A and B are shown apart, each in its own frame.
Chain A
């Protein structure tokens, strides 16, 4: 490249994908590059603060001002709003523009859009919190496991069969809980194709019922099964359905446990026929219910109202599995009265092997 002309420099500055402005001592914008004008409009004549409409408290530390004072490069993170009303996170660098005598004539402000980086940062923070949350719920379960083992050993020493059995049940219960967390993590960490098969929905629901029956009894929750016997078969992923149901049932049990208003608690597990040959599963409880403010949050990943006893993965996994099936999960709830979750699996034909 030989000598650059003035217009070349202008084109050069215009095509840099950063927001560049030149400001004077009063922080008035003297010039801006094309990229800046595209997203923010014509700034000439405005001060920086008026142009971006920045809260004065945010301007207390001003990198441009500081550069005028000490001639060094300064930086700062800010949120700006584009002319289309979009919020973007930027990091701002201010650098001095000197004349031939070294006097600072103006300050060049270069703002780089770091919104995508911020987004990733947010996700990493969330991930960190989830892992920590998961570690805490697993620690709780480990205490249960310790307890079961202690009771088993005690029963063995006393040659007390009943106690051994009781301890063993505690071990199994807590083992189930850890398995569920591990399954949930696996389900949400990878894309998996459902393994469609012809199954008996009533059979799978009955299995779940038997799996949770003792636990429900432990918490003095009445547990009922209501099967539509006319349902014969459905094409779905049996592991997926099992996971959906066990998440919904354990949430229902938690909801009953958390409710200290009612004396009697009840959970009902139902199968029904839906429209167009769909198969419907319902889990109804008379537990704490879901507050209106929380309605939109329950399906969000990592949302849990159970402190260190929840992971917030369950419903997210349920929703994922339902989507993979082309189905959906909904709920109706009355705060302090109870909640019914409904999972609808659409009718599906078994894919025919090619001849």
Chain B
């Protein structure tokens, strides 16, 4: 069974890009356009990894991150942050990896492979 990745970004171009690329690399994908929606999805659907844009309106990205890391059922899901603000004051601690936008997709794939196979 292919591993499933949840892609969270408010920009539909980015969502389209990441899902196409990850599917081409053999993963299944599900998507959410804000943190609230993403958290709802995770309550009912399993995901093996999450890519998250932290810079989403209303701080929903940051809140999502906090909610997931605090939830005992979800806290072990690896999260990869993809954000134009990488390297600057990140509002969260210890994601698996942090990527700057525009993302180097091969580097991203490498981390995904290392994390979930």
Co-complex (A, B)? yes
Measuring CB to CB, which residues of chain A are less than 8 angstroms from any residue of chain B? 136-137, 139-140, 142-148, 150-151, 154, 166, 170, 173-174, 218-219, 254, 257-258, 260, 288, 306-309
A139 and B84 CA atoms in complex are apart in Å by: 6
Whether the pair A142, B102 counts as a contact (CB closer than 8 A) is yes
Residues of B within 8 A of A136 (CB): 84-85
Give the shortest distance, in Å, between B110 (CB) and chain A (any CB): 17
Chain B contact patch, size range: 20 to 34
Whether the pair A170, B84 counts as a contact (CB closer than 8 A) is no
Residues of A within 8 A of B102 (CB): 139, 142-143, 145-146
Give the total number of A-B pairs whose CB atoms are below 8 A apart.
78
Whether the pair A258, B57 counts as a contact (CB closer than 8 A) is yes
Residues of B within 8 A of A166 (CB): 16
Give the shortest distance, in Å, between B12 (CB) and chain A (any CB): 6
A140 and B55 CA atoms in complex are apart in Å by: 10
From B13, B34, B57, B58, residue with most partner A Cβ within 10 Å: B13
Taking A154-B20, A170-B16 as contacts, is the C-beta distance between A144 and B85 under 8 angstroms? no
Proximity bits, B80-117, A CB within 8 Å = 1, else 0: 00011100000000000000111101000000000000
6 nearest interchain CB pairs?
Answer: A147-B17, A144-B13, A258-B57, A143-B102, A308-B84, A143-B101
Residues of B within 8 A of A151 (CB): 16-17, 20
In addition to A136-B84, A143-B14, 16 A-B residue pairs with Cβ atoms within 8 Å of each other are: A139-B100, A139-B102, A143-B103, A144-B17, A147-B18, A151-B16, A151-B20, A154-B24, A166-B16, A258-B57, A260-B34, A260-B37, A307-B57, A309-B55, A309-B57, A309-B84
A145 and B34 CA atoms in complex are apart in Å by: 21
Whether the pair A219, B12 counts as a contact (CB closer than 8 A) is yes
Whether the pair A308, B85 counts as a contact (CB closer than 8 A) is yes
A276 and B102 CA atoms in complex are apart in Å by: 50
- B76 close to A (CB within 8 Å): no
Nearest residue (CB) in A for B34 is: A260
Give the shortest distance, in Å, between A33 (CB) and chain B (any CB): 47
Taking A257-B10, A257-B57 as contacts, is the C-beta distance between A143 and B17 under 8 angstroms? yes
Measuring CB to CB, which residues of chain B are less than 8 angstroms from any residue of chain A? 10-14, 16-18, 20-21, 24, 34, 36-37, 55, 57-58, 60, 83-85, 100-103, 105
Task: Name B57's contact: one of A139, A148, A306 (CB within 8 Å).
Answer: A306
Task: Name A150's contact: one of B17, B36, B37, B85 (CB within 8 Å).
Answer: B17
Whether the pair A137, B84 counts as a contact (CB closer than 8 A) is yes
Whether the pair A307, B17 counts as a contact (CB closer than 8 A) is no
Whether the pair A139, B24 counts as a contact (CB closer than 8 A) is no
A192 and B13 CA atoms in complex are apart in Å by: 35
Whether the pair B58, A258 counts as a contact (CB closer than 8 A) is yes
A128 and B88 CA atoms in complex are apart in Å by: 15
Give the shortest distance, in Å, between A336 (CB) and chain B (any CB): 11
Residues of A within 8 A of B34 (CB): 260
Give the shortest distance, in Å, between B32 (CB) and chain A (any CB): 11
A150 and B25 CA atoms in complex are apart in Å by: 13
Nearest residue (CB) in A for B54 is: A307
A288 and B34 CA atoms in complex are apart in Å by: 15
A218 and B10 CA atoms in complex are apart in Å by: 12
Nearest residue (CB) in A for B21 is: A150
Whether the pair B85, A307 counts as a contact (CB closer than 8 A) is yes
Give the shortest distance, in Å, between B25 (CB) and chain A (any CB): 12
Taking A142-B102, A308-B84 as contacts, is the C-beta distance between A260 and B13 under 8 angstroms? no
A138 and B60 CA atoms in complex are apart in Å by: 22
Residues of B within 8 A of A137 (CB): 84
A173 and B83 CA atoms in complex are apart in Å by: 20
Nearest residue (CB) in B for A173 is: B13
Taking A260-B34, A307-B85 as contacts, is the C-beta distance between A144 and B14 under 8 angstroms? yes
Residues of B within 8 A of A307 (CB): 55, 57, 85
A258 and B18 CA atoms in complex are apart in Å by: 21
